[in-house]
């Protein structure tokens, strides 16, 4: 058997024809494969939530394949919100780059833990729990978020339930939220795929 | 050092004074420690959801401590629902004991996978994803649900967001669901702790 | 790089040309991939053990690939036995569907833990330990068994030692069981591949 | 919070009053805690199997706690046997110190893989599978065996089934091995605790 | 058994009298337990390396216990260096807060991957490999570093080898670095504990 | 789907066209795939370190793929040294085949644990920590080393820092070791690739 060029790298990206975890591997790697410039600038927060997540996970940054980490920056317009969501496969830890945010998560015993955080502060959201951030300052806010997974996955709760394709039956959502079908349909209209 | 009575058991429950993962261990174990009779009978479904989960996880069934599995039975009145929820720490696989259920989960790409299942059918809900079951038959329904965790944890989405203690700010929920504060408060009233 | 259809699913079954853990992945998945109907009916127990395991692991039910769980139903004729065996890669938890069974496992300190279980009862067999079930009632019995592995593997002890291909040397088995070679050969004859 | 003396060590053995995984930790550790002299000499093979395992796992060698490895030496008289057994929690890899052994394991598809090994040879037994070694030379034999677990656990098949306390019912063993109760009882007599 | 207040939290910090992984748990937790303010300000870089790591791992930030992540900020004076080091238990991913750094790591095939990174850039250092950062700009530099471990551990190579207590024998270091004992002793003098 | 020949083996080496973890799998396996004869004889220690590591990891011994273990023998001329190094992915446990060695490791708190070991002794080096062995006897020495990884990886510290390709900048090494650039270049010359 030919001697492998580099065992450590090999595990992640040996040959172009090989995929590991379904992600492509490369024959000739360089330092650029471990580098990502896509978080330099704030993302565009001109959307209904007033917030945007710019991800550097294995889909965008293949170099983290097999390494068990990924990172993102999240930008928030004043009043902007990263709405309640979960990451099925990761704990998240944030560092505030600028601004003032209300952050929180809810436990499996239905307790809310919430806190106002400012530039330089750190907060951790345990694996799998529903959590959110909301810009409570007068200017833009931004955080760096790190995950102990190369592909944390995200389920934004309202979009997941009211914007799925095909849609979740309205009677299921009506019973779940204890509202009527008309109210469900009104929310669904807000999350309909464009 | 004294010879340990039983290494395998030892890992879970050596001494009464010891806790592993915070759960008590026992000095004298018997077959009863690996046995649980609490799922024999249907649970009481006389509640707003028309459904009840009877759990045999490490809180109720200490014998599964360190073993990486737990089990539950879920009973559903006609029309009853196990509302959309997540398990932060486990995949779930169900076997239908009786009845006809609509089951489904939503992926991180916001696709709904839904199916009608009947007695003897199996369905699997991947780790951490939002999922639900609804009784679509005319009589009671029941499933056995197994988890690859001794303590899967559960977040019922509507209760988590609208029934937390202390409450999640109404403006956060209003923005998230794109409804107004009054609508949020009306839903919160339905989930208020009694 | 093209945007992945669905990261969660992707991990298990992205493309038909890709195998993960050696199992095929699919390009177009549907709810049916997470569904398995093969446990609806009792298996045929007309065999020497009077028992049959119908498995829904990744070989039969590819949808559990990467999900860390699998399930099976086990049927037992009156007096039927799921003979002493191990699962090299999983803890097993059973729920009794019907009948009365003697179940047991032996620890690494050579202690037997055994129990009579009935409809609706739960019992757990720790990872890797020798265990068995025997129908002690007058009618058929059945259980649902869940595993924290997509492919638990099974070694039925007597078949493994006395029915292997090629055969284990008789002198090795004679010494191990402290019987003579003729007795070994008599047992081997019972387990010979047909 | 006081600064910890040494995080790496701390994980294994911080304070005498603390147990991790149920094993005692020490306040003052030295190089001796990572050292074990108990494998220097051959063990006594004067027993029915003609073989003895001298273990250096976490019960005997607490320094491996949390480190995920252990080691043993196995000595064999001429004709001696380490009888068919499993390790529920570890793969085993052996290096032959002296002598000539027949080694083998059986897969979950009931295939036997067997080989004659000599001084300096290496053989690996996959996690959880039934395996054995038998001295096929004219003099003593010995191996060093390493495990990827601090406490691999062992179930010697014949002793597990025929020598358990309390005993496994003879009718269960008779049906499993397709012999009669009298033959079972004869084997049990050989493995009865003294 | 009393109902646990909160299973998720419970795993990390149930009772003050309990330690998990040797770290103390708390009976009454609040959002402050998941919050850390100690990274707000640059650390003091007035030291021989011209660099300082301010850690928020489980020793300083107990809230990350069991959560599998930690974070740090690293500040660099002009010309300052985070010297070649390893983390035995974690991959590291950095986000540049300000300045211009040369960063690099060496693989197990002895290849150096190095890159100049600037504000907003991301770079990843695979688990366990020797890596470094050096301020190549004219002003101060700073990064946020995240780890997929609650306690990554650090071995600064030169300090580890030349500043250990008790010291590593000079002849061992001389042979390793192919220098003479006098040169070793001169380096040791620079790293002697004060 | 065709029935798999053998699930356990399948995980490691099902088909020649498949790679798992990037390593080739085979269609027809035999006992030889689990056997390795390459450690029978001492390696050639005629090199500057006076020591040689003969590895039986997944690169040389494909049968350990997915099994989580590997093994090596290390031979030392009198005065020979296995220089300070780390294994990014494994704990190492050694058994001394012959000779007298000084072995040691340094913790993340910069404490050296060192010990003289002789034939038959065991010593363990915790995952990721810098460690070394030096022959302190008058004749050759040898150990068997086992790892809880199929590919432990090795970074020999001096070679990693002073012999990388391309080279680490001399000013970085000078600052790290608190020596001048000339001294760095002199060491580099000793480790230059031939």
Contact check, Cβ <8 Å, A175/B134? yes
How many residues make up chain A in this entry? 194
The predicted pLDDT at position E28 comes to 81
- Residue C33, classed as helix, strand or coil, is helix
Nearest CA in chain E to D8: E153
Contacts of D134 in chain C (CB under 8 A): 169, 171-172, 175
| Chain C contact for D86 (CB, 8 A cutoff) | yes
Out of C134, C160, C179, the one facing D172 most closely (by C-beta) is C134
Angle ∠(A123,A127,A128) on CA atoms, nearest 5: 120
ipTM metric: 0.89
Chain A: give the shortest CA distance to residue F22, in Å.
7
The predicted pLDDT at position D25 comes to 59
Sheet containing D155-156, strands listed edge to edge, beginning at the edge strand earlier in sequence: D112-118, D100-106, D131-135, D81-86, D155-156
Q: What is the mean pLDDT of residues C87-92?
A: 97
Contact check, Cβ <8 Å, F122/D6? no
Strands (E), chain C: 19-20, 23-24, 35-36, 51-56, 70-76, 81-86, 92-98, 100-106, 112-118, 122-125, 131-135, 141-147, 155-156
Angle ∠(B36,B40,B43) on CA atoms, nearest 5: 110
Nearest in space to D8 (alpha carbons), one of E160, F177, E37 = E160
pLDDT band at D26 (very low <50, low <70, confident <90, very high): low
Cα distance between residue F159 and residue F164, in whole Å: 7
**Of B166-180, D42-56, E116-130, F11-25, minimum mean pLDDT range:** F11-25
The per-residue pLDDT for range C8-63, each reduced to its tens digit, is 333 233 233 455 666 665 668 899 999 999 999 999 999 999 999 999 999 999 99
The predicted pLDDT at position A26 comes to 66
Chains A and D touch (3+ CB pairs under 8 A): no
Residues 151 to 180 of E: which have CB under 8 A from any F CB?
153-155, 157-169, 171-173, 175-179
Distance of CA A188 to the CA centre of its chain: 22
Q: What is the mean pLDDT of residues A91-103?
A: 98
Chains B and C touch (3+ CB pairs under 8 A): yes
pLDDT band at D13 (very low <50, low <70, confident <90, very high): very low
The dihedral built from the CA positions of residue E64, E68, E73 and E79, taken in this order, carries a sign that is positive
DSSP state of B119: T
Contacts of D104 in chain F (CB under 8 A): 31
The predicted pLDDT at position F168 comes to 97
Out of A89, A127, A164, the one facing B112 most closely (by C-beta) is A164
Cα distance between residue F18 and residue F26, in whole Å: 8
Residues 101 to 120 of A: which have CB under 8 A from any E CB?
104-105, 107-109, 111, 113-115, 117-120
A67 phi and psi angles, rounded to 5 deg: -90, -15
Residues 22 to 41 of C: which have CB under 8 A from any A CB?
25
Q: How many CB pairs under 8 A join A and E?
A: 163
Residue A79 has pLDDT above 70, yes or no: yes
Residue E10 has pLDDT above 80, yes or no: no
Chain E: give the shortest CA distance to residue B17, in Å.
11
Contacts of E20 in chain B (CB under 8 A): 21-22
The predicted pLDDT at position E89 comes to 94
Cα distance between residue F42 and residue F44, in whole Å: 7
Enter the tokens of residue C169.
């040397």
How far, in Å, are A66, A69, A89, E113 from residue A150 at the CA level? 7, 5, 9, 21
Residue D21 has pLDDT above 70, yes or no: no
**Do residues E127 and E86 touch, judged by C-beta distance below 8 A?**
no
The predicted pLDDT at position F19 comes to 59
Contacts of A88 in chain C (CB under 8 A): 8
Chain D: give the shortest CA distance to residue C59, in Å.
13
Q: What is the mean pLDDT of residues B122-131?
A: 98
> What SS3 string covers chain A?
CCCCCCHHHHHHHCCCCCEECCEECCCCCCHHHHEECCCCCCCCCCCCCCEEEEEECCCCCHHHCCCCCEEEEEEECCCCEEEEEECCCCCEEEEEEECEEEEEEECCCCEEEEEEEECCCEEEECCCCCEEEEECCCCCEEEEEEECCCCCCCEEHHHHHHCCECCCCHHHHHHHHCCCHHHHHHHHHHHCCC
Cα distance between residue B81 and residue B156, in whole Å: 11
- Residue C6, classed as helix, strand or coil, is coil
Mutation site for C-interface testing, chosen from D84, D91, D114, D149 by largest number of C Cβ within 10 Å: D84
pLDDT above 70 covers what percent of chain C?
86
Placement of tokens 């495990």 in the chain: D147
Contacts of B8 in chain D (CB under 8 A): 88, 153
Contacts of D86 in chain B (CB under 8 A): none
**Do residues B42 and B98 touch, judged by C-beta distance below 8 A?**
no
How far, in Å, are B138, E82, E169, F162, F164 from residue F184 at the CA level? 82, 18, 21, 8, 13
Chain C: give the shortest CA distance to residue F6, in Å.
9
Residues 48 to 67 of B: which have CB under 8 A from any C CB?
56, 61, 63-64, 67
Q: How high is the mean pLDDT of chain D? A: 89
Question: Rg for chain C (alpha carbons), in Å?
Answer: 20
Contact check, Cβ <8 Å, D157/C157? yes
The predicted pLDDT at position D27 comes to 64
Chain B: give the shortest CA distance to residue D120, in Å.
31
Chain A: give the shortest CA distance to residue F87, in Å.
11
The per-residue pLDDT for range C106-151, each reduced to its tens digit, is 999 999 999 999 999 999 999 999 999 999 999 999 999 999 999 9
Nearest CA in chain D to B26: D22
Mutation site for B-interface testing, chosen from C30, C33, C95, C104 by largest number of B Cβ within 10 Å: C95
Out of B21, B24, B153, the one facing E8 most closely (by C-beta) is B153
The predicted pLDDT at position B72 comes to 98
Residue E4 has pLDDT above 70, yes or no: no
Chain E: give the shortest CA distance to residue B59, in Å.
7
Q: What subunits touch chain B, counting only 3 or more CB pairs under 8 A? A: A, C, D, E
Out of B126, B167, B190, the one facing A178 most closely (by C-beta) is B190
Residue A42 has pLDDT above 70, yes or no: yes
pLDDT above 90 covers what percent of chain D?
84
The predicted pLDDT at position C19 comes to 59
Chains B and F touch (3+ CB pairs under 8 A): no
Contact check, Cβ <8 Å, B84/A49? no
> What SS3 string covers E97-166?
EECEEEEEEECCCCEEEEEEEECCCEEEECCCCCEEEEECCCCCEEEEEEECCCCCCCEEHHHHHHCCEC
pLDDT band at E193 (very low <50, low <70, confident <90, very high): confident
**Do residues C51 and C145 touch, judged by C-beta distance below 8 A?**
no
pTM: 0.91
The per-residue pLDDT for range F118-159, each reduced to its tens digit, is 999 999 999 999 999 999 999 999 999 999 999 999 999 999
DSSP state of F62: G
Cα distance between residue A133 and residue A135, in whole Å: 7
Out of C34, C61, C124, the one facing B67 most closely (by C-beta) is C124
Max Cα distance, chain F (Å): 66
Cα distance between residue E101 and residue E78, in whole Å: 10
Contact check, Cβ <8 Å, D120/F6? no
The predicted pLDDT at position A41 comes to 97
* Distance from the first to the final alpha carbon of chain F: 53
Q: What is the mean pLDDT of residues D88-102?
A: 98
The predicted pLDDT at position A119 comes to 98
pLDDT band at B193 (very low <50, low <70, confident <90, very high): confident
Q: What is the mean pLDDT of residues E30-52?
A: 97
The per-residue pLDDT for range B33-65, each reduced to its tens digit, is 999 999 999 999 999 999 999 999 999 999 999
């Amino acid at each position: 058997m030919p001697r492998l060029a580099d065992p450590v790298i090999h595990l992640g990206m040996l040959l172009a024809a090989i995929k590991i975890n379904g992600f492509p591997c490369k024959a000739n790697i360089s330092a650029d494969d471990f580098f990502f410039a896509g978080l330099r600038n704030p993302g565009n927060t001109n959307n209904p939530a007033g917030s945007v997540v710019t991800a550097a996970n294995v889909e965008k940054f293949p170099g983290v394949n097999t390494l068990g980490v990924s990172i993102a920056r999240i930008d928030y317009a004043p009043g902007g919100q990263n709405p309640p969501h979960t990451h099925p496969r990761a704990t998240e830890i944030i560092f505030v780059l600028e601004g003032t945010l209300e952050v929180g998560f809810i436990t499996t015993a239905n307790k809310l833990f919430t806190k106002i955080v400012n530039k330089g502060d750190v907060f951790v959201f345990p694996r799998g729990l529903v959590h959110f951030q909301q810009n409570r300052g007068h200017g833009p806010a931004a955080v760096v978020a790190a995950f102990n997974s190369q592909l944390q996955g995200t389920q934004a709760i309202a979009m997941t339930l009211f914007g799925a394709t095909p849609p979740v039956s309205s009677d299921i959502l009506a019973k779940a939220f204890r509202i009527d079908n008309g109210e469900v349909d009104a929310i669904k209209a807000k999350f309909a795929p464009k």
